[in-house]
A and B are shown apart, each in its own frame.
Chain A
């Protein structure tokens, strides 16, 4: 992954219509964004459609990127997550994951390996999550990584929706507090 400064420069160039810069931006970020989308949607074809939408949006909205409000990769990853979740929600009544994936409930605890690969900021977030009750942290991870609604996760884990919401919201607020400390 290239540094944020490169991404910002490419975004600014793309905003002015610079196609090669846009290609550089795509090459540097598409695998990360595709990973995020695929984790939410599971279906490759659908994930590819969404990735296409995401880069079309990035190209169109590059001029709106504001480095004072978000890092470039967060800005792009947020577009990707939102598009993937919108797509997930617009599925009529299909399950959010293939049957075989639903059967094995993913263990959303971070492995030591995950943490080693992650950057400093990610390590801090993971450390802050680790301060929480394990069930609360796992619920936060499942909603974030899989795009599950509170309702879907509550049903999957057999927890009342109200309880789950409370775990997640309080957990996140505590986590933010830890990070700010």
Chain B
């Protein structure tokens, strides 16, 4: 290298390279993983994107063929209906994903994942709540059973699917409240892991469970950010 200046720091170089679009496939993937979990890096990338974006004005606009809108409309608004309307009003960002992710299914599932049981006594009267979580095509992906007396949610996979390197995260939607995370689920291994007891509190018949695919480690925003692959309502048995 002939330049005599000090080298550009790695993190800045990666942000700049990514925003510019100069990274090869592997390096790009590394940057994308980092984007999902490093807000400072993301801010740096967004800064470069904003700096470069005015250059887009130089690119000649090309009208796409009119048939393209029909394809998009068919995918986003199936069967001419405005869109999927949930039974209970919930935050649009979650439900807006529902109509879109047909075909995406849950991870190739190991036998059973048990989310365990941290709830201390005294146990409430034993009650089992069950939800079948299905994709919006109706394919059942797993059954979630909530045992209030044990404070445990037990997930039993009903189908095969692909998580695509992302982390499945379980959410509960109660009434008008925004989706609340019950934590990420490791369905790749049968290992049990804990959901803090206070998070399980308030699960009741009528609550909706949903699973979204999130960046590794789970959603950073407090709400679902990835595609919702399955939903179901808890009912008492």
Contact = CB atoms under 8 A, between A and B. Distances in A.
Contacts of B82: 17, 19
Given A19-B73, A143-B21, A144-B20, 12 more contacts: A23-B73, A30-B68, A60-B97, A74-B53, A118-B54, A125-B51, A125-B54, A141-B55, A148-B22, A163-B1, A168-B22, A172-B20
B147 interface: no
B61 A34 contact: yes
B84 to A, nearest CB: 8
Interface string B14-46: 001100111111001000000000000000001
Contacts of B176: none
Given A56-B75, A166-B3, A78 B49 contact: yes
Residues of A in contact with B, size category: 35 or more
A77 interface: yes
Interface of A: 15-17, 19, 22-23, 26, 30-32, 34-36, 38-40, 48, 51-52, 55-56, 59-60, 62-64, 69-71, 73-74, 77-78, 81-82, 85-86, 89-90, 110, 114, 117-119, 121-122, 124-126, 140-141, 143-145, 147-151, 153, 162-163, 165-166, 168-170, 172-173, 175-176, 179
A78 B53 contact: yes
Given A78-B49, A169-B13, A52 B92 contact: no
A21 B135 CA distance: 27
B72 A55 contact: yes
A31 B63 contact: yes
Q: Which 4 A-B pairs have the closest CB atoms?
A: A63-B93, A31-B61, A122-B54, A122-B57
Contacts of A19: 73, 76-77, 82-83
Contacts of A78: 49, 53
A172 B96 CA distance: 38
Contacts of B77: 19
Contacts of A36: 56, 59
Which of A143, A163, A169 has the most chain B CB atoms inside 10 A of its CB?
A169
B93 A125 contact: no
B176 to A, nearest CB: 15
A15 B21 contact: no
A63 B221 CA distance: 12
Contacts, number: 170
Contacts of B69: 23, 26, 30
A114 B92 contact: no
A38 B24 contact: no
Contacts of A40: 21
Nearest to A153: B22
Contacts of B61: 31-32, 34-35
Contacts of A90: 25
Given A19-B82, A32-B59, A70 B50 contact: yes
A35 B62 contact: yes
A69 B60 CA distance: 26
Contact of A151 (B5, B24, B54, B60): B24
Contacts of A176: 48, 51
Contacts of A168: 20, 22
B21 A170 contact: no
B96 A169 contact: no
B88 interface: no
27 contacts: A31-B63, A35-B59, A35-B62, A36-B59, A39-B59, A51-B68, A55-B72, A60-B227, A63-B93, A69-B46, A73-B53, A86-B28, A117-B58, A118-B58, A122-B55, A125-B54, A140-B20, A143-B20, A144-B21, A145-B55, A145-B58, A145-B59, A150-B23, A153-B22, A168-B22, A169-B16, A175-B51
